[in-house]
A and B are shown apart, each in its own frame.
Chain A
């Protein structure tokens, strides 16, 4: 299977705090890889390093077989066009309507000019995430779950090959968390995407994961299927699932 993301011995330091201490993992094309670990382990930092939002201190990150650190501005932009990123706080553009949020990447990234096509594509993704009635609303008028759905729609609208999810269910109630988890799975099947999902939410991980990587002290300490990790002999790893 083709590796679309490959991380080797990644290190990242913030002043005196070394967050990542040699993280290694890889994501195969078409799989949903879930990254779990305690708070402050550097899971979100890993996602930001993959997209070049943060620079790394050492190690290697390859996306689509290209070393991220060696990409120039235009190459990085091209790579980002193939990756979607769902932020923990949704990161919706709060001065724009739902429709304008969706049109933003179409106009500025895909350089689409045909308003009819933009409208059609916006409606398609909104229908896919069940938010068609909110097309003219402002993000501030939406609930937490709806905001997550809209953020996912904005990510999907450019048809990314990889989606990075940063805590997709944080701050949501159990039922909405399950809905979002099922939506992630549904979108993977519908759009055939590869996903790297960072989460604390084990029920979510169990629903969406093809494989789980556990992080401890800035490194990956376990890698396997949910059932294998649930039955691990290591108390730390098992503690996530109990």
Chain B
């Protein structure tokens, strides 16, 4: 009997999340979209994370180039470095790294903010006044994440490729124009589009996880911390799982 409890609780959580998702979808398409709140959230999400994204992307490009250069040199394939950096950062590294950074920064922020609103009954106050709390609090946050995570990833891609070029100048005299041409000529439609779709899904996972955990914070300030923590963990796991699923789908669609 005791063994059934965690299973039942998991099913209950999945059911509650399904209702929360339904409420999000319905509120998204209802009249009265909160454009100002959406813009504010988009600005905060982008502005709060741009510094760490620029730094991480730049260092990623440098490290990737420095570490792969000796091996490629052995095979006389140094000229492939721009293509290798571009494809690997655009297809996989930047989407996942940006996703995980944003899961830590944004999902925790949303979880803590909404969690504290929940325990101080601000969300109840919105609901009981007849306002749609999901439309005001959840929809702008999730949609802002779905917009800004791809934008931040594109910025990280560009900076990582530039970082790769800077590292290339340590051992060769390749011009930026040539480096850029080599990097972009190897890219295909099937490298870019699935990566962007993936980051939109990551944005959804980050926003949803933050909002869900915040809305379900109960019993005082301790639960606010727990909501923030759970938001980060669930968003990070969701990103890894979604990445594996999207990679598999891309493989089926592109290569079959």
Contacts and interface: CB of A to CB of B under 8 A. Distances in A.
B131 A87 contact: no
Contacts of B180: none
Contacts of B126: 93, 104, 108
A109 B132 CA distance: 8
Contacts, number: 57
Contact of B128 (A53, A92, A94, A108): A53
B122 A105 contact: no
Given A51-B128, A105-B130, A111 B32 contact: yes
Contacts of A84: 129
A158 B130 CA distance: 10
B120 A85 contact: no
B129 A80 contact: yes
B16 interface: no
B124 interface: yes
B130 A87 contact: no
A142 interface: no
B131 A104 contact: yes
> Which of B32, B124, B125, B136 is packed against the most chain A CB atoms within 10 Å?
B125
B2 to A, nearest CB: 15
Contacts of B121: 87-89, 91
B122 A83 contact: no
Interface in B111-133: 117, 120-122, 124-132
A109 B122 contact: no
Q: How large is the interface on A (under 10, 10 to 19, 20 to 34, 35 or more residues)?
A: 20 to 34
A89 B125 CA distance: 11
A94 B32 contact: no
A81 interface: yes
B136 A108 contact: yes
Interface in A105-132: 105, 108-109, 111
Nearest to A81: B130
A94 B136 contact: no
A91 B130 contact: no
A15 to B, nearest CB: 12
Contacts of A80: 127-130
7 contacts: A53-B128, A77-B130, A78-B130, A87-B124, A104-B129, A108-B131, A154-B129
Interface of B: 32, 117, 120-122, 124-132, 136
A-B interface, 9 closest residue pairs, ranked by CB to CB distance from nearest: A91-B125, A108-B131, A81-B130, A91-B121, A80-B130, A109-B130, A85-B128, A87-B121, A105-B129
Given A83-B128, A93-B122, A105-B130, 14 more contacts: A51-B128, A53-B124, A53-B128, A77-B130, A80-B127, A80-B129, A80-B130, A87-B121, A91-B121, A94-B122, A104-B126, A108-B136, A154-B129, A158-B130
